[in-house]
Chains A and B, each alone.
Chain A
Amino acid sequence: MDSAALLAELPRLRRYARALVGDRMAADDLVQDTLERAWSRLDRWRPGSDLRTWLFAIMHNLRIDQMRRPTVECIPIDEDAHLLPVRASQSDRIELDNLAAALARLPEEQRAVLLLISLEEMSYAEVAATLGIPLGTVMSRLSRGREHLRQILAGDTASPRLRVVR
């Protein structure tokens, strides 16, 4: 690993961090922490392995540390409550403002998998290696995440606790 290789990965690290975290400053802070940790763990870098996967994995671990730190109280979301039967939207053009807001409402673990695949275009195996989870978990989080995002965008989940009443 050298500075030039690291510099080449920076734009993608920033793009992913921005999509994952939302806030620009917080995202760049996460990237900076990732770079610092990468240098400090240079001894664990195996030459010839995929630098990008390694960096994304470092960022993922930092993000987990961040999330574990007590901050504002989070309201647990009942994931299944989102899965209401909805009529498919006829328009496949997604408004970008809506997308950013909808993305922020996804559980972090679904958002991470969805972004690594849809935005970063990693293979399922690369995502599994990056996040340190089994391939099956990658696939289930991906399909839940995409479906979840679709329903949020369809606007049928104004209240996360909404249930169908017969």
Chain B
Amino acid sequence: MNAPVTDSELNAFLDGELTPARRAEVELWLAGHPEALVRLEHFLAQREALHRLFDPVLDEPLPEALREAAQAPVRSAGWWRRQPWAQIAAGLLVACVGAAGGWFARDRQVATAPIAAVSVPLPRQAAVAHAVFSPDVKRPVEIRAEQEDQLVTWLSRRLGSPVRPPHLGTLGFELIGGRLLPGNSGPVAQFMYHDGAGQRLTLYVSTENSGKRDTAFRFAQEGPVNVFYWIDGAFGYALSAGIPKDELAKVATEVHAQLERR
């Protein structure tokens, strides 16, 4: 017998954490220490009782919320939160994705809402589209300004109405190009511009406004994105950028003026 047996060693003996040599020594020592043996037996009983008490949890059916939480999210939440547009888009996505299949397992009420009921207001649609595509360095648009004729033909055909990007060169904004996007019930168009400093601006054009009255300029703020929007006949326009309201108002006035002249 070498070193005396400590309390920790008694536990390590129980948990199979001793070397075989030390284990044999502790066994011998226990023979001469009945009070330690009683404690050891009690610790064994603890272990056995803990299993009796909690092992039934292993056989319980898994709650649905946990099953869902075990599924991979559409994107990982960390990626999601890092995006500057996450704040704006969050509400929109909860409505759409939640309705589609219950991404957020706890939002049961949202998940049961019929998808047809979800209609996103114009400025919000525009702001989200702006926030999603304007930071894209490589592919901000589907068709670039170099093929402006092609862009105009294509978007006009898809939207079923003639659409043409205004020219904002006098205000320092140059057309990058445009793309087609899904709106509430059909296609919408987005034109993107940038200035010399790389600041991007998007004009969102929707043709989904039949039956609605024309409106004056309205202003909305969606997180970091400022939006001017107005409705003109079947067309809804929304101009979005991360620039101050008064600067954006000048651009909106110019866009409106050019559209009026057509």
Q: Which A residues form the contact surface with B (CB < 8 A)?
A: 2-3, 6-7, 10-12, 14-15, 18-19, 28, 31-32, 35-36, 39-43, 88-89, 92-94, 96, 99-100, 103, 114-115, 117-119, 123-124, 139-140, 142-143, 146-147, 149-150, 153
Given A14-B60, A94-B45, A139-B8, A150:B50 Cβ within 8 A: no
Cross-chain contact B70 with A35 (CB below 8 angstroms): yes
Tell me which residues across on chain A come within 8 A of B73, comparing CB atoms.
39
Q: Which of B193-247 contact A (CB under 8 A)?
A: none
Given A93-B45, A118-B46, A147-B7: A15 and B78 within 8 A (CB)?
no
With a cutoff of 8 Å between Cβ atoms, the chain A residues found around residue B43 in the complex are 146, 150
Q: Does B21 sit within 8 A of A, measured CB to CB?
A: no
Interface SS majority for chain B: helix
Check if A143 sits within 8 Å of B49, measured CB to CB: no
Q: A28 to B72, Cβ gap below 8 A?
A: no
CB <8 Å contact, B69 and A88: no
Asked if B69 contacts A7 (CB within 8 A), the reply is: no
**Which A residues are CB-close (under 8 A) to B118?**
none
A81 to B29, CA, bound (A): 29
**B67 CB-CB contact with A under 8 Å:** yes
**With the chains together, A92 CA to B22 CA distance in Å?**
26
**Does B44 belong to the interface (CB within 8 Å)?**
yes
- CB–CB A7/B67 < 8 A: yes
Collect the chain B residues with CB atoms within 8 Å of residue A143's CB: 7-8, 10-11
Chain A contact residues, majority secondary structure = helix
Interface positions of B from 56 to 114, Cβ below 8 Å from A: 57-60, 62-63, 65-67, 69-73, 76-78, 81, 105-106
Say whether, besides A40-B77, A41-B78, A124-B12, A10 and B70 are in contact (CB < 8 Å): yes
Q: In the complex, which residues of chain B have a beta carbon less than 8 angstroms from the beta carbon of A15?
A: 54-55, 57-58
User: Could you list 10 examples of A-B contacts with CB < 8 Å?
Assistant: A10-B62, A15-B58, A39-B76, A41-B78, A88-B38, A115-B50, A123-B15, A143-B8, A143-B10, A147-B7
Q: Which residues of A contact B55 (CB under 8 A)?
A: 15
In the assembled complex, the CB of B58 is this many whole angstroms from the nearest CB of chain A, namely: 4
- Min CB gap B81→A, angstroms: 8
Complex CA–CA separation, A10 to B61 (angstroms): 11
* B15-A117 in contact (CB<8A): yes
A35 and B66 form a contact (CB under 8 A) = yes
Q: Is B51 an interface residue when CB atoms closer than 8 A count as contact?
A: yes
**Pairs of residues from A and B, 7 with the lowest C-beta to C-beta distance, nearest first:** A40-B77, A94-B49, A35-B69, A92-B45, A40-B78, A15-B57, A88-B38
